[in-house]
Amino acid sequence: MLSEPAISGAPDTVVSASPEESNAPTPGASAGGRRPRSRRRARASGTAVAAAGALSLALVLSGCSSEQTDTTSPASARSKAGDDAKGKQGTVDCAKAKCIALTFDAGPGKDTGQLLDTLKDKKVPATFFLLGKNHVKKHPDLVRRIAAEGHEVANHTWSHPRLTDLEPDEARKELALTQDAIEEITGRKPTLMRPPQGRTNKDVSKVSKELGLSQVLWSVTAKDYSTTDSALIKKRVLDQADRDGIILLHDIYDGTVPAVPGIIDALHKRGFTFVTVPQLMAPAVPEPGEVYRP
């Protein structure tokens, strides 16, 4: 499930909802393995209520909006791409290779230069979802360097509000301000955006489409907003990493950038190739307004 903290205020909780099933006999069952009918009915009703409650809680805590649940995976996007698709692949074809995308939210910040040094040294491309206010405007040289060194520059709103809490015009302004600020620095408007906390709905999708922005969620989160332990951040990423995955990290937290070299080295040893989000979907081209998630 998805979760990302608010940049200001307490972080959201991550919910990993994958309960294990057990084949052990149910305590209290009759000798023949069956409960009395009334108790079976009560148990079924209680199970249904619990399941509905768990789903509702998961949607709220995970950052997923119940209004917008349709997503497209990178593999599905690739498979649906026509012969005339124009998405540019990286060094490999991700339909054949074991690809994964490394993404960073809410920068640039004080450690982004060090991160870029690491990525350059290890020849790893990444996707940066940048915040406009106090980040893009404060660090134009880093924004320029991110673009110049071949990374994907993307939009993470102006001030990190939950877009689903805003009127469409307000959401449009949050995205458009960052679009314009990035274009002013790099000469190119982003084509990707990440909604803060993964919260999106039909209105956000409509606004994104109008602005030419595809929405990109994630499959791996280290909850790096909750710890400065770089070893723990690395472990959390490695435990969740899988083919066609999209890793969510933040280059604004103290433990994250020091964890990146170890993450890259370990995933290279596992046979992964790092690509940007557009390269992960190539030859498909991400469509504006669509929501992409592994």
**Catalytic residue ranges:** 105, 250
Diameter over CA atoms, the chain: 75
Which token pair is 32? Answer: 């023949």
What residues have CB less than 8 Å from 75, skipping those under 6 apart? 95, 244
d(CA 283, CA 94): 9
Write the DSSP string, 125-150: --EEEE-IIIIITT-HHHHHHHHHTT
Which token pair is 246? Answer: 């999209």
Alpha helices in the chain (DSSP H): 37-62, 74-80, 112-122, 140-148, 168-186, 202-210, 230-240, 256-269, 277-281
Residue 247's alpha-carbon distances to 121, 127, 204, 220, 263, in angstroms, are 20, 10, 23, 5, 11
Which token pair is 144? Answer: 């320029």
94 within 8 A of 282, measured Cβ to Cβ: yes
Nearest Cα residue to 128 out of 64, 178, 62 = 178
Which token pair is 155? Answer: 């939009």
Write the DSSP string, 28-43: T--TTS---HHHHHHH
